[in-house]
Each structure stands twice: as C-alpha cells, then as structure tokens.
C-alpha cells in the first residue's frame, strides 16, 4: 500500500493515522514501511497535544494507540528520524512543511487536520496523501482534494420529521432491552426529567437509561444514536449513548454512564456560587477544569463528532479533575447535524440559520470553545457582559463591545465583582487571544486554546508568577483567603511545588453579575528559534525521548 509514497524522503505524519488505524493490518504495514525505509518523519505540536488528549481520557479503546506510539518512537528515535515542528495552527504547520524537501503529508479523511485543510484551503507545495483502509489517494492541492473527495453532504434524514413511537411508555420497574435481546436493564428509579424524556437509574452499576417521550425519536435522532454508540468511547466523563434500548420491540432510548456532580452553570455563576460549591479552590483548579473540558471536546473532534451546543449547563462537575459531558444525543456526528444551539455561545455568523439544515465545521465550534475559555476563567461571566452597556447581550455581541483592554487603560465598562483583576492576572498570551477573538473577530483553533491553557497551567504549577494574587480564584477581591507565600525558588520555577489550597470564607459580593444571560492578526510571539522554517524543526531524539510520554 505504501509504495505510492515510498519515493519521498520525508513524511509529515498526522496524528489521525495513529488514532484511527492503530491495531489494524493497515498500521502494521505502515510500521513495516517505516522500519525498512530511511524516511524522516515530521509531526506538529498538534500531534503531541492530541496524543496527550487521548492519554488523559483513559479510554480502553486507546490501548492500541499507546502501543503504536511507543513502537513508532522506538523505530525512529535511535536513528534521529523523528522531528517535532513547533507549530500548532494548521496553516503555520503547512508553511513549515512546505519548506521540507521531498516531503509528503500523510493523513486521513476524517482527521482534524484534514478538516482544517478543507476549511482553510492553504497552499501546498508538497503532495497530500489520504490513508484509507483500502489504499492511499494522493492530491496535488487542497482544491484537488475538495473536488475529488468532497466532504459528505448533509444527510437526507435531517429533513425527515416523522417519528418512531411506541404505544407503551417504559417507566419504573419496566425492563428495556438491546435490539438482539442480549442485554436487559431494569428501570429502578427516576433521576430526572425534561422536555425530551426521562433519565432512570438502572439495575446495573453506574449505568443510567434515557427514555424518550412520545413524539421525540425521529429517524435522524435514532441514526445518530446508533453511530454514537458504535464509537465505543468509554472514557470517564463522556455520557455518550452506549446501548440502544427497545421496549416491546420499539426504540425508546439508550444507556449511558452516570455523570456525577452539578452542572457547570451552577458552579460557574459568579463568586458566591463557586465559593459555595468549592471553597478551597485556587486558580489552578479553575484551569484544570477548563483543560478537562477542552480535551474532551477535542477528543470528540478526533472521532468525527462536533458538540454543536456547547454551554455551561451541558457539563457536570464533581471536581476539577472529574468533569462529565452530558446531553450528548444532540451532537453532530459525520453528516448528521446537531439541531440545537445556544445563541450566546454560538458564532454570530450562524445566528438565524436552521441548525438542522447544514453540517457544522470545526471553525464553527472554535467560537464556542473561545466562549468556554472565557466563561470558565471568569467564573461564569459572559465576555460581552458590560456595565452601563446596551439593553441586551445580543447587541453587545453584534457590536463586539468587549470591555477589556490589553493595556488595562479602560475599566469603567468591566462588570463589578473583581473581574478586572482576573483579567489583569491572566497570562498575556491568553489575554491577547481573548481580546483578538472578542474585539477583533479573530478565530483561533480549539487546539490553540488548549495549548495556551496548558501553558497557563505550567506557570501555575511551577509557581512562575511572582504575585500570590495570581493563584487566587478572585485576585485582590474582598474576601478572606489564607495568604499565599511564594519563595524565591518557587517564583523562579525551581520545580518544588506544593499545590496551593487556601481556605476561603464566603462573603457576598455586591453588584456581581450572575453570569446568566439569555437574550447574546495577532499571534503570541514564538521565540526566535521557532520563527525560522525547517532549519529550526526540533529533533527530539537528541533528548532521548519523544513528547515526554515514554
């Protein structure tokens, strides 16, 4: 199979090749080709970061992926043939790869990288190879890729408004079964109910069942549930459909993992709400929560899933390291669209459109990820919440009335409650990204947000910020917190770190916005070594390890 690209001296390898094909005969053949050839392999910083995402999900389905990564490294590192390109944004990586002589890009059709190519249409000066289970197809440009291998069109099921209904409604004490009858679940106790259906505790530990009301299951919804259940994602924190359920031989719902905790919207709802739920939290806990969320959404992206309706009420939080994505039956998978969206978390370009009538792109989701970053870092506040502003949040969003400045020259429109101090103590790179997004409309990829927040966490963990206020959830705010004392060694990033866990005494903040609203090209400078093209691509094998994982 790989004879098609065997004439090239270098391959820019996308992570999707490993995540989608590890453990298959195709990957075995790829490994054999790598071992027997003298090809140099170049990977982006995104490759590294996505692997971290996979590792942290502790999903049993990734065991083959981890083994594949170790094997690839063991083949390439001794010969100094594995190179890390210090770029994370798609077009920046392409620019570097274009400068690599005799190079071919190897990716897959469903990978995040390929989808970014469809969206951004960068100029390629090397061949693009798409790996499929039955062979490799090569393209000379992204336009050729789009013409010869177009993205799937919107499923016809999106326009089918009929319903699949049962004359009987499953309830407590009833037994529901899988299609083949091999598994059965007794509905033991009703946990919650909503407009779509009810959630029941079952007789199997940590497994709940969502049973839909009459007139809710459409052919689109059922097709989507089937595809989601076939993904096999079992990592903690994903309340995805696992088994489809039938009652009296008619579809009624699905099983999923039991999520723990309270919704993010109830925690990230201003100072008092957060301190009441987690009184011992520090800024590090806030950042850990945000990282967990972004990693999970990226993990979904890797599986051809776009969340669509990202908002604070669609996740549960038990602790900063235990977050659950819920209401996952509405997501978009492949060409089966997500029919819903929350306006204040949705890119204004999509306002007024019928969400069931088009397939969303990763670029559409980037805005929602940016919204999530701001909302969590600012404990529930919306980026366009202002003092003495317009009558509705919708007007503020349309006018991009972002009340924060990079030089802190104006603070009169920032809401009361210490949010100006949160802004002041954020890393400059994140402040720039937020400013460019919400003031100037720039779009950063979700992976760029993750990279920036990871860097923020490293600063907090290494105690590289010299002000104790930077480690508080609400810097310089009027509430009691145990003092934070940083030694000179800690501020220098010595590596000796004791997680800061100050005690909080709850105090009411006057005029603090609740954070609930229902109405609506700068890049951080890389160092000089990373600015130059291929001459500064890092050969990590000189360090004796790759990506810090093995």
Task: Confirm whether 36 is domain-assigned.
Answer: yes
Are 338 and 332 in contact by the 8 Å Cβ rule? The answer is yes
Least confident segment among 135-149, 223-237, 490-504: 490-504
Q: How far is CA 252 from CA 238, 344, 378, 397, 420, in A?
A: 21, 32, 40, 40, 49
Report the first-to-last Cα separation within the chain, whole angstroms: 29
Which pLDDT band holds residue 164 (cuts at 50, 70, 90)?
confident
Residues 306 and 345 in one domain: yes
For residues 499-526, give the mean pLDDT: 32
Please say if the pLDDT value at position 480 is more than 70. no
> Which residue is it, tokens 């039991």?
258
Query: Which of 257, 290, 308 is where one domain is finished?
Result: 257
CATH code assigned at 445: 1.10.510.10
Task: Confirm whether 227 is domain-assigned.
Answer: yes
Residues 335 and 382 in one domain: yes
Least confident segment among 21-30, 455-464, 468-477: 468-477
Query: DSSP characters for 156-172?
Result: GGGG-------SS---T
Q: Which pLDDT score, from 0 to 100, does residue 60 have?
A: 87
* Structure token digits, residue 198: 């009810």
The 10 Å Cβ neighbour count of residue 141 is 16
Query: Which of 238, 257, 276 is where one domain is finished?
Result: 257
Tell me which residue of 55, 32, 48 sits closest to 85, measured CA to CA.
48
Cα angle 221, 227, 233; round to 5: 120
Cα–Cα distance between 380 and 272 in angstroms, integer?
11
Which pLDDT band holds residue 185 (cuts at 50, 70, 90)?
very high
Q: Which pLDDT score, from 0 to 100, does residue 485 have?
A: 52
Residues 23 and 147 in one domain: yes
Residues 6+ positions from 244 with CB-CB distance below 8 Å: 178, 179, 222, 225, 226, 229, 251, 253, 254
Residues 314 and 440 in one domain: yes
Task: Confirm whether 117 is domain-assigned.
Answer: yes
Maximal C-alpha separation, the chain: 71
40 - beta bridge partners?
Answer: 10
pLDDT digits (tens, 9 = 90+) for 229-250: 999 998 889 999 999 999 998 9
The rounded Cα 162 to chain-centroid distance in angstroms is 33
DSSP code at position 312: G
Residues 409 and 487 in one domain: yes
Tell me which residue of 269, 261, 264, 308 sits closest to 289, measured CA to CA.
264
Are 34 and 76 in contact by the 8 Å Cβ rule? The answer is yes
CATH code assigned at 142: 3.40.50.1010
Task: Confirm whether 527 is domain-assigned.
Answer: no
Cα–Cα distance between 404 and 414 in angstroms, integer?
7
Residues 253 and 266 in one domain: no
pLDDT above 90 as % of the chain = 75
Which pLDDT band holds residue 409 (cuts at 50, 70, 90)?
confident
Residues 130 and 206 in one domain: no
Q: Which domain holds residue 340?
A: 262-519
Which pLDDT band holds residue 503 (cuts at 50, 70, 90)?
very low
Please say if the pLDDT value at position 522 is more than 90. no
* Structure token digits, residue 351: 């306002």
For residues 240-263, give the mean pLDDT: 94
pLDDT digits (tens, 9 = 90+) for 336-384: 999 999 999 999 999 999 999 999 999 999 999 999 999 999 999 999 9
Give the H or E element holding residue 229: helix 219-230
pLDDT digits (tens, 9 = 90+) for 271-324: 889 989 998 899 999 999 999 999 999 999 999 999 999 999 999 999 998 999
The rounded Cα 58 to chain-centroid distance in angstroms is 15
For residues 524-547, give the mean pLDDT: 38
> Which residue is it, tokens 């010299």?
466
Residues 268 and 408 in one domain: yes
Residues 185 and 205 in one domain: yes
Cα angle 156, 158, 163; round to 5: 110
Residues 271 and 314 in one domain: yes
Please say if the pLDDT value at position 423 is more than 70. yes
Query: DSSP characters for 468-497?
Result: GGGGSSSTT-SSEE------HHHHTT-S--
User: Residue 191 — left, alpha, or beta (φ > 0 → left; ψ -120 to 50 → alpha)?
Assistant: alpha
What is the average pLDDT value for the chain, to the nearest integer?
Answer: 87
Residues 417 and 469 in one domain: yes
Give the H or E element holding residue 253: strand 250-257
Q: State the total domains in the chain.
A: 3
Residues 446 and 505 in one domain: yes
Task: Confirm whether 47 is domain-assigned.
Answer: yes
For residues 51-70, give the mean pLDDT: 91
Task: Confirm whether 169 is domain-assigned.
Answer: no
pLDDT above 70 as % of the chain = 87
pLDDT digits (tens, 9 = 90+) for 116-133: 999 999 999 999 999 999
Q: Which pLDDT score, from 0 to 100, does residue 519 have?
A: 29
Query: Which of 233, 257, 281 is where one domain is finished?
Result: 257
């Amino acid at each position: 199979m790989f004879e098609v690209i065997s004439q090239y001296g270098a391959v820019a390898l996308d992570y999707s090749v490993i995540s989608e094909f590890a453990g298959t005969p195709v990957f075995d053949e790829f490994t054999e080709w790598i071992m027997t050839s003298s090809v140099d392999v170049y990977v982006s910083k995104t490759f590294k970061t996505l692997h971290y995402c996979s590792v942290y999900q502790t999903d049993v389905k990734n065991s083959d992926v981890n083994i594949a990564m170790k094997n690839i490294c063991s083949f390439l590192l001794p010969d100094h043939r594995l190179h890390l390109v210090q770029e994370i944004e798609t077009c920046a990586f392409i620019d570097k790869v274009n400068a690599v002589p005799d190079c071919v890009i190897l990716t897959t059709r469903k990978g995040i990288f390929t989808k970014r190519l469809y969206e951004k249409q960068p100029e390629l000066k090397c061949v693009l190879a798409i790996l499929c289970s039955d062979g490799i197809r090569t393209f000379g440009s992204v336009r050729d890729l789009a013409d010869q291998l177009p993205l799937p069109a919107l499923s016809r099921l999106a326009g089918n408004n009929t319903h699949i209904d049962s004359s009987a409604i499953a309830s407590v004490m009833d037994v529901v079964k899988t299609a083949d009858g091999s598994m059965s679940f007794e509905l033991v106790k009703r946990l919650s109910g909503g407009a779509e259906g009810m959630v029941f505790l079952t007789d199997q530990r940590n497994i709940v069942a969502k049973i839909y009301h009459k007139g809710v299951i459409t052919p689109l919804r059922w097709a989507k549930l089937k595809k989601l259940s076939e993904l096999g994602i079992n990592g903690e924190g994903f309340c995805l459909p696992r088994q489809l359920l039938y009652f009296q031989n008619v579809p009624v719902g699905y099983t999923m993992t039991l999520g723990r905790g309270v919704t993010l919207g109830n925690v990230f709802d201003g100072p008092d709400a957060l301190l009441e739920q987690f009184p011992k939290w520090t800024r590090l806990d806030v950042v850990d929560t945000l990282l967990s969320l972004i990693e999970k959404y990226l993990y979904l992206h890797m599986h051809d899933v776009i969340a669509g309706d990202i908002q604070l009420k669609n996740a549960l939080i038990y602790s900063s390291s235990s977050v659950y994505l819920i209401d996952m039956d509405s997501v978009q998978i492949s060409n089966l669209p997500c029919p819903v969206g929350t306006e204040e978390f949705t890119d204004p370009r999509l306002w007024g459109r019928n969400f069931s009538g088009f397939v969303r792109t990763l670029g559409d989701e980037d805005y929602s990820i940016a919204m999530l970053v701001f909302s969590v870092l600012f404990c529930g506040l919306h980026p366009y919440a202002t003092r003495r502003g317009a009558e509705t949040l919708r007007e503020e969003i349309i006018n991009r009335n972002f009340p924060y400045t990079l030089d802190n020259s104006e603070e009169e429109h920032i809401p009361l409650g210490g949010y100006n101090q949160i802004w002041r103590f954020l890393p400059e790179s994140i402040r720039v990204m937020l400013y460019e997004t919400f003031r100037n409309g720039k779009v950063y990829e979700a992976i760029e947000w993750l990279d920036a927040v990871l860097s923020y966490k490293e600063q907090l963990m290494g105690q590289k910020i010299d002000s104790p206020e930077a480690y508080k959830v609400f810097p310089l705010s009027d509430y009691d917190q145990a003092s934070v004392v940083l030694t000179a060694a800690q501020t220098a990033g010595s590596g000796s770190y004791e997680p800061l866990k100050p005690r909080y005494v709850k105090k009411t903040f006057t005029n603090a916005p609740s954070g609930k609203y229902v109405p609506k090209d700068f890049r951080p400078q890389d160092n000089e070594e990373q600015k130059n093209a291929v001459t500064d691509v890092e050969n990590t094998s000189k360090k004796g390890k790759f990506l810090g994982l093995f």
